Structure 1
Amino acid sequence: MDRGARHDLQFLFAAIFTLNDLTFTIDPALASLHINTYILGDLSQSESHRYFLELIKSLPRECQDLFPLDERSFDRIFYLTGGRMLLIEEYVYQGIRSMPTTRILPNEKTFKAILLAKSGLEQKLTSAGGQPYTSKDLLDVLSAVVNAGCGYVPYMTLIQLVGSAKVDYMIEQNILYYRPESENYSDLQPFPTSSVVTPTGTHALRAMETLLRNLSPKSAENYTDS
């Protein structure tokens, strides 16, 4: 193929990734090609359960016996981890470490992924004075996400609530995750018809819920003007 013909060809690569693994590299030989990426979201609950079962089967027998394998028991695990494979693995390995001493599997109060996410939110809440948004702005946004009930809020709704600069900065800080309008989101129900903002994962949503639930009215008042 001569250079002119090669130049006229349009290469379109559709690379499909899930939110579980957004760290990838592109071979330099492909750098000049046009690549479209479609983020499909986390695994469904049935897919997550199958992944969980395969993970448990790979463990030594004494570790396998620590975990109930039925679908109803997995409801609780999915509530904590969502369809994020790395979080399912973290749940399992934390359970293996904690069961010999506590005899309790990770829960909403002990799962480290949730605790770390909650700690990060608390840090941003107390240091919001040095950010483009105030503590009240952050609480208003967290409340909007939690109260939405479906795991996402239209991007424009949050802009109307606190302004685009503040919302975009929260996205840059990894407090929120922006998901443009797409036909490929399998994990958002009901299916959004516009660009939306979500927590960075189910564990982050659980952290938001816990933070707001534990925030006393008096503490909330302290953030009103900060």
Structure 2
Amino acid sequence: MGRKEDRQSMKKPITKKGWFWFLILLVLAGGGFAAVKLIPIPLDFNFGKAATEESTAATKESSENTITAKDAEQIIETYKSIALGDPLVEDTKGASYDEVVAILGDPSSNVDSEISGTTSKMVIWNSFNGAATISVTFKDDQATGKSISKIPVEEKKTKITIAQVDAIPFDGTYTYDQAVQYFGTPDSLSDSLINGVQAVTAMWSTNMEQAVTFHFDDNIAVSKETVE
């Protein structure tokens, strides 16, 4: 059976399997990148090292700025440009800490740890003028996981209903791009590359009757769950 058929027959996404999180804890030394969703840190809307120098002024002006759909698109494209490595596959290389600093500027905080000679770091960046929070987890100076929350989402008058969400198929044909086209910009994302599988978790809430989280493996929707 080919890889595509294997993926379509999965009962659970890779991020829902116990061994996946065991590896995350073991390899990344507990630096759970998705945890940043719970950390409401203000950000500034500049790129590179200049962002840090202007963060104070940007914070004061943030309440007067209007984040547009185009801004949200730029934020997500910047987030996507951070390359991830696969800790279980040789010859894959994620962005280094310095490379991510060149993209986002100096971070606001980081946590370092070391287990059995493996160094890990979880770093949070204050960028985008309070519009989003980005966290990146590094293993031996290689980005292996990332997340973004507080993405600015344009509100619509009509909300997606639970019935519409329940109609989404999970037969190996529904993609992340289709979800974005249907639901709009997600409110948060988290990404990892484990054992050759690009795992993405996307959460939509702003224009939803009830918030919903989708799990994608290699761009294919494999499960969903509503958020109370």
- Relative to the length of structure 1, the TM-score reads 0.27
- Relative to the length of structure 2, the TM-score reads 0.27
Structure number with higher helix proportion: 1
Between structure 1 and structure 2, the one with the greater Rg is 1
